[in-house]
Structure 1
């Protein structure tokens, strides 16, 4: 194998690893958000987590989760609060993944 092939393989491996870490972080973030929202709504944590995870599969990214949270938390949290909580949960999720 040439040096170029080795580098190409290394870049492909890093890309796959980074994509996997991002997927895990988004999944963990969704669970953290569900925990927060379920407490605000007084809903069962398991049931609400399932609802939020189902909403997360509508499209790539977290916009679908945001829309569901905005609809569910109307009157309990505004959009800015939800965005701030999403950023906080993503940072916490990434830290948890990095810690192993």
Structure 2
């Protein structure tokens, strides 16, 4: 294998790793957002876990955070506005990335 091929493989592997880590961070963030929102909604026990999964699934509707924000804003109407939700998602994303780095 030539040096060029080795470099190409290294870049492909790094890209795949970075994409996987980004997906894990967003999924972890969405789970944490579900926990946060469930608390605001007064959910407990198994209802919290079920709601976390609803929030995670909502992220598969379209690229970006708008689908998650829309779901949370609709569910949290009167309890949290869109700006608060976006700020919470940003905060939780930082936490999720840090957790993954610590685990890695």
Band of TM-score, shorter chain: over 0.9
The one of 61, 64, 67 aligned to 1:64:
67
Off by >6 Å, runs of 4+ in structure 1: none
Question: 1:62 offset after TM fit, Å?
Answer: 2.2
User: For residue 28 of structure 2, what is the aligned residue in structure 1?
Assistant: 28
Could you say which residue in structure 1 is the equivalent of 2:58? 55
Shift of 1:59: 1.8
1:54 Cα shift? Answer: 2.0
Give the 5 Å matches for 1:1-100: 1-43=1-43, 44-100=47-103
Shift of 1:3: 1.1
8 Å CA contact 2:37–2:76 kept in 1: the answer is yes
Structure 2 CA distance for aligned equivalents of residues 66 and 80 of structure 1: 9
Name the TM-score, length of structure 2 as normaliser.
0.91
Extract unaligned runs of 5+ from structure 1.
none
Given that 2:38 and 2:48 are in contact with CA atoms closer than 8 Å, whether structure 1 keeps it comes out as yes
TM (normalized to structure 1)? 0.94
Count residues with an aligned counterpart.
Answer: 100
Q: Which runs of 5+ in 2 are unaligned?
A: none
